[in-house]
């Protein structure tokens, strides 16, 4: 459960007229991801309206196969998989979102302070970051569950605490580089305090980066939630995608060949993570001009026929052999 | 006797462990970027600090603004010693000395309009609380730098402006606090040639209006035309200082002479160039005695051990001084 | 009459900015000739197209570029076949030194090995021969031979520029293109490098195109000068004539705007700014800033007019001499 490695170069200046929407629209995989994600989010949000059966209501035998009435089948407790999916996705998304907010919030704060202040503050904050970087969430959650019990809030908190470190690093690095931009130095030379400089000059430039971090962190948070819930460390009172898979396998879905009880929740998790990753990667590419590699292209410049010249040769559009 | 606007005596600036945050990364050795620099500047006067890379001219300017800490020497601005001045007193003083940066493409925040960029100093120093008052002041400054009519420029963003216009915006934002001293760090070196004279003329007008201008440049021709006095720096020291006309027509220090003869001159096509061999030594390994002696055509034995001080030159003219053991006095 | 080693005829370069983007005409018809041992200075400000012009001579253009015209090396047009016909000549017959070439070295390999590699790659030399020649080259550009085994970061900016020059000369090119080779260097190093270039062009019989914005530099070191503005050449001629008797107002005004060490000559500023690359041009591109512009200048683009031997200007009001013919082979 490591964070995706995002080699964002420090010099990420926005091209003119850049906007999130435009980047996503221009990139096919990101557009697909965006659409899929939106559909999932909307469905989860409208769970009470869309669910064909009330939650926790038994409507048939355990592990009943998919049929006309219940196209996705039933789980071990006879509940409609569709209903479970909708409500579970809700929980998973909520946890993921909550954890992301915490992660970005802490990460941005630590990153900006460390990057801007430098010196010993930076040193101490980085030691803190390193500490949290190596703390594994499963044992941490186990300990917290053992001492304080499980619950949604604790889950959100734990995932958020594990997740902020990578954002902090990336933001710190970008802040350090922004601090030395001429217009930032100018503001400092004017006598502006760090608050003014950060709010006015640094944060606006960090915003796109934060969005990218947020999107990618969300993907990891969803994965973490699924994993922790699968291990039984999630909230036992709420359905979640990880819990669905866990309960299904514990109740013998594999031996009963009840593939639907495991496959569908798995697909939803995959879809969410994949969509977020595709969007995040497209945004990251847009921010990082060094990833452009037109000079490695196999295409070459075109030669057009000379204007008004005497030689009548057809212009050659050449490509490398 | 009236105070000079700016008086610098014996300025030394070192970078290295335990001192200023080194832009060279973590170095174990101590780099003496500025090594005992003296000069004065009055209102209505332009002084040019001229030198090649490693001469310490930019660091001198930064030390004057207290953007880097001086390790030794005194800086007096409007009569008050800047030593030990911190916090709010420094902020108040900073209002009166402003810096113009070299790069017009990087010195303006691309996300803000011209109005917000030029009004920022007013916000930082909280001089005008009313938006209207600020806008008026901004328009005044824009007109002063030739961006007229000002209203047209208020909403523009930096990327809509040419390099010359951006530099004017930069100057406007420096003027908005009505400073006494303007430090221009290579104000035109990143601009097209056809645009440079316009900006330099503007600076000259401001000087005529009573500002004191400290111009940092590597270009002797620019310095000669637009500055009243020129100080030539080499390896952290001022080696010659005097009225610009004299520096150009009668350069006395061998380095100044070499510098002048290296400047391309269309009038003299195949001229006798004094092309100095070698290169400027690394700032961490400044030669002993006179820093110039390894390359100097008239160096003698004592030049390797004794560091020369600025003294009146050939004609014993106190306004034209050079730092050379063999030519001074 | 000896054939020019390099002849450029009506070169035009347009960039397509994306599928829906408007085409940007960067070079709008440039023609000039270069003889062996001759130094030509191509002078212009930002956006005039001078860098694109010489990049085209090397064929180093991005895929969205469209080129037309002719580039004749010893009389043979190498442009028509595009990349395929240009590639064999790149770095063997035509070589280039870039602005900031000092940063073009691979930091993980020594200078000497990179020069050797250039020779073995394109020139097909054996390792021993290449190494020996690398040392010769370094000596030729004034780098002490013990530096051959140094890494780029161990050399100063000036030294690295010399090394870049050595690398460009490795395969004995006939034409050397230099794009602002000394702009980022101190004035004394600049003088050293320029003197080196002068010496090398004389010794090796190189034809040199020096691209720069520094007019006095070019007049001092080049035989001929071509002034470029908004994608076109506005004046060409011997350096001395261009200075003593500028025919085009841009040349004249640019000289006037460049401070020299002659303090009695006042510096006069130009109004406005050079046109941006994507700006539409109607009539003479310089008309908005010209002190002699008249109505015709704003409507009709002037053609290159030959005034004296080898001296031509594209201006409706260029000082005309005896002859008044358009330059041969040029279409505007």
Mean pLDDT in residue range B11-16:
89
Q: Where are the beta strands (DSSP E) in C130-216?
A: 175-179, 207-212
- Whether the pLDDT of residue A1 is over 60: the answer is no
- Whether the pLDDT of residue A11 is over 60: the answer is no
Query: What tokens does A101 get?
Result: 């907010």
Closest CA to B71 of B22, B10, B23: B10
DSSP letter at C148 equals G
pLDDT in tens, C106-136: 889 888 888 888 888 766 678 888 888 888 8
SS3 B14: strand
Name the residue facing C217 among B165, B264, B275 (closest C-beta): B264
∠ CA C142-C148-C149, nearest 5°, is 155
Name the residue facing B101 among A186, A196, A200 (closest C-beta): A186
- Distance CA(B208)–CA(B226), nearest Å, equals 12
Return all residues near A261 (Cβ < 8 A) that are at least 6 apart: A63, A73, A75, A76, A81, A244, A248, A253
Mean pLDDT in residue range B297-304:
88
- Whether the pLDDT of residue B16 is over 50: the answer is yes
Lowest mean pLDDT, pick from B187-196, B320-329, C68-77, C158-167: B320-329
Task: Judge: B260–C254 Cβ closer than 8 Å, yes or no.
Answer: no
- Distance CA(B261)–CA(B273), nearest Å, equals 6
* Between A102 and B312, residue with greater pLDDT: A102
- Whether the pLDDT of residue C93 is over 90: the answer is yes
Task: Judge: B193–C188 Cβ closer than 8 Å, yes or no.
Answer: no
CA distances from A79 to A53, A54, A232, A245 (A): 8, 9, 20, 14
- Whether the pLDDT of residue B269 is over 90: the answer is no
Provide, rounded to the nearest whole percent, the portion of chain A with pLDDT above 90.
35
∠ CA B57-B59-B65, nearest 5°, is 110
Count of CB atoms within 10 A of residue C102's CB?
21
Provide the pLDDT confidence category of residue B227 given band limits of 50, 70 and 90.
very high
- Whole-number mean pLDDT of chain A? 82
Interface residue A309 vs chain C (CB under 8 A): yes
Mean pLDDT in residue range A197-223:
92
Provide, rounded to the nearest whole percent, the portion of chain C with pLDDT above 70.
93
- Distance CA(B260)–CA(B18), nearest Å, equals 38
Task: Judge: B101–A16 Cβ closer than 8 Å, yes or no.
Answer: no
- Distance CA(A131)–CA(C64), nearest Å, equals 49
- Distance CA(C168)–CA(C58), nearest Å, equals 12
For B286-325, give one letter per residue: b (16+ CB within 10 A) or e.
beebbbbbebbeebeeebeeeebebeebeeeeeebbbbbb
| Its pTM surpasses 0.80 | yes
Provide the pLDDT confidence category of residue A291 given band limits of 50, 70 and 90.
low
Task: Judge: C9–A306 Cβ closer than 8 Å, yes or no.
Answer: yes
- Whether the pLDDT of residue A116 is over 90: the answer is yes
pLDDT at A295: 59
pLDDT in tens, B103-134: 999 999 999 999 999 999 999 998 888 999 99
Q: With residue A5 as reference, give the H or E element that holds it.
A: none
* Between B206 and C183, residue with greater pLDDT: B206
Burial class (CB in 10 A: 0-12, 13-18, 19+), C143: buried
- Distance CA(B204)–CA(B228), nearest Å, equals 10
Burial class (CB in 10 A: 0-12, 13-18, 19+), C108: exposed
C319-328 long-range CB contacts below 8 Å, 24 or more apart?
C319/C245, C319/C247, C327/C31
A–C CB contacts, 8 A cutoff, strictly below: 63
pLDDT at B25: 52
* Between B167 and A250, residue with greater pLDDT: B167
- Whether the pLDDT of residue A310 is over 60: the answer is no
Q: With residue C197 as reference, give the H or E element that holds it.
A: helix C187-204
Query: What tokens does B157 get?
Result: 């963003």
Provide the pLDDT confidence category of residue C323 given band limits of 50, 70 and 90.
very low
Query: What tokens does C103 get?
Result: 């940063």
**Bond from prior residue into B272 cis (ω within 30 degrees of 0):** no
For an interface test with C, give the residue of A22, A294, A306 to mutate (most C CBs within 10 A): A306
- Whole-number mean pLDDT of chain C? 87
Using a CB-CB cut-off of 8 Å, the residues of chain A touching B107 are 182-183, 186
Mean pLDDT in residue range A138-149:
83
Query: What tokens does B249 get?
Result: 């027509």
Closest CA to A319 of C91, C77, C82, C86: C82
- Distance CA(B225)–CA(B255), nearest Å, equals 20
Is A221 in contact with A229 (CB distance < 8 Å)?
Answer: no
- Distance CA(B217)–CA(B205), nearest Å, equals 19
pLDDT in tens, B204-217: 999 999 999 999 99
Task: Judge: A183–B108 Cβ closer than 8 Å, yes or no.
Answer: yes
Interface residue A26 vs chain C (CB under 8 A): no
Interface residue A267 vs chain C (CB under 8 A): no
Interface residue C188 vs chain B (CB under 8 A): yes
pLDDT at C50: 94
- Distance CA(A312)–CA(B132), nearest Å, equals 67
- Distance CA(C97)–CA(C119), nearest Å, equals 16
Query: What tokens does B7 get?
Result: 């008086």
CA distance A199 to chain C (A): 34
For C219-247, give one letter per residue: b (16+ CB within 10 A) or e.
bbbbbbbbbbbbbbbbbbbbbebbbeebb
- Whether the pLDDT of residue A296 is over 70: the answer is no
Closest chain B residue by Cα to residue A118: B21
- Whether the pLDDT of residue A192 is over 60: the answer is yes
CA distances from B263 to B255, B271, C32, C43, C134 (A): 13, 11, 28, 18, 32
pLDDT at A294: 56
Count of CB atoms within 10 A of residue C184's CB?
16
Closest CA to B182 of B5, B1, B57: B5
Burial class (CB in 10 A: 0-12, 13-18, 19+), A127: exposed
Provide the pLDDT confidence category of residue B20 given band limits of 50, 70 and 90.
low
Task: Judge: B101–A191 Cβ closer than 8 Å, yes or no.
Answer: no
Q: How does strand C39-43 pair with strand C65-73?
A: unpaired
DSSP letter at B285 equals S
For B25-48, give one letter per residue: b (16+ CB within 10 A) or e.
eeeeeebbbbbbbbbbbebebbbb
């Amino acid at each position: 459960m490591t964070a995706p490695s995002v080699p964002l170069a420090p010099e990420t200046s926005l091209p003119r007229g850049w906007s999130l929407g435009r980047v996503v629209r221009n990139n096919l995989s990101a557009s697909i991801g965006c659409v899929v994600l939106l559909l999932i989010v909307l469905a989860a949000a409208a769970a009470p309206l869309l669910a064909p059966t009330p939650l926790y209501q038994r409507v048939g035998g355990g592990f009943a196969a998919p049929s006309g009435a219940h196209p996705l089948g039933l789980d071990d407790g006879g509940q409609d998989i569709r209903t479970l999916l909708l409500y579970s996705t809700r929980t998973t998304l909520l946890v993921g979102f909550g954890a992301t907010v915490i992660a970005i919030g802490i990460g941005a704060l630590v990153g900006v302070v460390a990057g801007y202040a430098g010196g010993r503050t930076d040193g101490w904050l980085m030691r803190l970051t390193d500490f949290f970087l190596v703390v594994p969430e499963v044992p941490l959650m186990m300990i917290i569950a053992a001492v304080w019990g499980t619950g949604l809030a604790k889950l959100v908190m734990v995932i958020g605490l594990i997740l902020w470190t990578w954002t902090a690093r990336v933001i710190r690095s970008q802040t350090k580089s922004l601090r030395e931009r001429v217009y930032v130095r100018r503001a400092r030379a004017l006598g502006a305090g760090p608050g003014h400089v950060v709010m006015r000059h640094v944060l606006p430039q960090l915003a796109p980066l934060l969005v990218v971090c947020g999107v990618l962190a969300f993907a990891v948070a969803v994965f973490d939630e699924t994993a922790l819930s699968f291990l039984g460390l999630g909230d036992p009172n709420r359905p979640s995608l990880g819990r669905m898979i866990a309960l299904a396998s514990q109740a013998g879905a594999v031996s009963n060949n009840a593939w639907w009880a495991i496959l569908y929740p798995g697909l939803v998790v995959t879809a969410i993570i994949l969509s977020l990753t595709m969007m995040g990667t497209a945004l990251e590419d847009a921010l990082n001009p060094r990833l452009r590699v037109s000079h490695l292209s196999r295409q070459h410049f075109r030669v057009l026929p000379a204007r008004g010249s005497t030689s009548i040769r057809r212009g050659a559009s050449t490509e490398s052999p | 006797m009236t105070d000079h606007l700016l008086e610098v005596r014996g300025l030394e600036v070192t970078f290295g462990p335990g001192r200023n945050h080194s832009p060279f990364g973590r170095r174990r050795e101590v780099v003496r970027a500025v090594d005992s620099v003296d000069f004065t500047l009055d209102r209505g006067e332009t002084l040019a600090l001229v030198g090649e890379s490693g001469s310490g001219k930019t660091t001198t300017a930064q030390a004057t603004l207290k953007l880097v800490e001086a390790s030794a020497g005194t800086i007096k601005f409007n009569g008050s010693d800047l030593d030990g001045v911190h916090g709010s007193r420094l902020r108040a003083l900073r209002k009166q000395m402003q810096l113009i940066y070299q790069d017009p493409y990087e010195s303006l925040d691309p996300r803000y309009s011209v109005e917000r960029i030029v009004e920022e100093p007013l916000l930082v120093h909280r001089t005008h609380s009313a938006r209207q008052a600020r806008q008026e002041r901004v328009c005044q400054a824009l007109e002063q730098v030739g961006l007229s009519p000002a209203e047209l420029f208020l909403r523009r963003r930096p990327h809509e402006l040419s390099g010359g216009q951006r530099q004017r915006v930069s100057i406007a934002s420096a003027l908005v606090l009505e400073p006494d001293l303007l430090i221009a760090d290579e104000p035109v070196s990143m601009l097209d040639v056809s645009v440079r004279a316009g900006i330099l003329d503007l600076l000259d007008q401001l000087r005529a209006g009573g500002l004191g201008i400290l111009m940092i440049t590597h270009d002797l021709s620019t310095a000669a035309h637009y500055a009243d006095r020129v100080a030539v720096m080499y390896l952290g020291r001022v080696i010659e200082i005097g009225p610009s006309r004299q520096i150009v027509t009668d350069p006395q220090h061998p380095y100044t002479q070499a510098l002048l003869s290296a400047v391309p001159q269309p009038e003299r096509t195949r001229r006798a160039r004094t092309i100095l061999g070698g290169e400027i030594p690394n700032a961490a390994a400044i030669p002993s005695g006179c820093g110039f002696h390894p390359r100097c055509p008239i160096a003698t034995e004592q030049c390797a051990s004794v560091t020369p001080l600025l003294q009146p030159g050939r004609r014993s003219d106190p306004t034209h001084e050079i730092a050379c053991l063999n030519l001074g006095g | 009459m000896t054939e020019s080693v390099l002849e450029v005829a009506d070169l035009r370069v347009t960039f397509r900015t994306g599928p829906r983007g408007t085409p940007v005409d960067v070079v709008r018809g440039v023609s000039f000739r270069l003889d062996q041992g001759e130094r030509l200075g191509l002078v212009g400000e930002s956006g005039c197209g001078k860098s694109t012009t010489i990049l085209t001579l090397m064929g180093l253009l991005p895929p969205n570029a469209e080129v037309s015209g002719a580039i004749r090396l010893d009389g043979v047009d190498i442009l028509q076949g595009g990349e395929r016909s240009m590639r064999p000549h790149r770095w063997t017959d035509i070589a280039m030194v870039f602005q900031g070439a000092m940063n073009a070295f691979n930091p993980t390999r020594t200078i000497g090995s990179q020069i050797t590699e250039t020779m073995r790659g394109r020139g097909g030399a054996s390792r021993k021969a290449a190494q020996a020649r690398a040392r010769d080259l370094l000596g030729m550009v004034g780098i002490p031979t013990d530096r051959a085994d140094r890494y780029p970061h161990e050399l100063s900016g000036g030294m690295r520029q010399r090394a870049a020059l050595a690398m460009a000369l490795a395969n004995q090119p006939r034409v050397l293109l230099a794009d602002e080779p000394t702009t980022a260097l101190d004035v004394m190093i600049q003088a050293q490098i320029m003197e080196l270039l002068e010496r090398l062009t004389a010794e090796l019989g190189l034809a040199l195109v020096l691209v720069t914005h520094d007019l006095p530099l070019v007049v001092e070191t080049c035989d001929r000068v071509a002034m470029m503005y908004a994608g076109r050449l506005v004046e060409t001629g011997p350096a001395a004539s261009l200075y003593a008797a500028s025919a085009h107002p841009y040349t004249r005004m640019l000289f006037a705007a460049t401070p020299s060490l002659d303090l009695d000559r006042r510096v006069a500023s130009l109004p406005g700014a050079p046109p941006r690359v994507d700006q539409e041009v109607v009539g003479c591109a310089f008309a908005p800033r010209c002190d002699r512009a008249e109505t015709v200048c704003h409507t009709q683009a002037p053609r290159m007019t030959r005034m004296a031997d080898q001296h031509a200007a594209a201006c409706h009001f260029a000082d005309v001499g005896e002859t008044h013919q358009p330059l041969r082979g040029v279409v505007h």
